[in-house]
Amino acid sequence: MAAKKKAKKKELVRASPRGPAPSFVASGLRSTARAWIERAFQHASDARSLRLHNGSPDGLYHFSGQAVEVALKALIMRREGLSEFPSRKQDPGLYSHNLRDLMTRAGLAPLLDAEIKGATDLGANWQAVRDWSYNTSRYPQGRTPREYAVAYYRAVTHQRDGVLTWLNKLFLLPPA
């Protein structure tokens, strides 16, 4: 009974609208590539909720950026055949929050270049998204203008050319 109550309390903490959920590496939660891509969409859902309910632009920006970071890490795990997320000691590079570095490590730069040449809006959306900063978004102190946060969210989640949409399509492809 106590274990069930503890599990429920953990779930409530993770789903809190007040801020990002604890890292699943630190909290011992699922850490497969599939779990990471699901978490990316949870971050996008948190951002959507903030957008629809006129929530904090800082939170909207943060959750949108986290969605891209987590999706990139899921693709890296899949590409490198990792069955679970490694510890910081095993692979410190995977603990980066730099979206450009993660895109490079995932080996997606050539695919992105091909998409950009295909005259989609993905290139413009990537340019809008790529300089996201975890530290700036996590500790913003009310600095993110609403218009910027909404535009950033759209660049991440656009149904056809959003960065997260594109990353999910790649995740759904059979592993190489």
pLDDT of residue 5: 47
140 is written with which tokens?
């913003």
pLDDT, tens only, 121-157: 999 999 999 999 887 777 777 788 999 999 999 999 9
| Cα 133 from chain centroid (whole Å) | 12
Q: Which fold has domain 31-172?
A: Four Helix Bundle (Hemerythrin (Met), subunit A) (1.20.120)
Unique residue bearing structure tokens 């106590």: 2
pLDDT of residue 176: 63
Q: Where are the domains of the chain?
A: 31-172
Q: Length of the chain, please?
A: 176
Give alpha helix (H) positions in the chain. 2-14, 33-52, 57-79, 99-105, 109-117, 122-129, 134-138, 146-157, 163-172
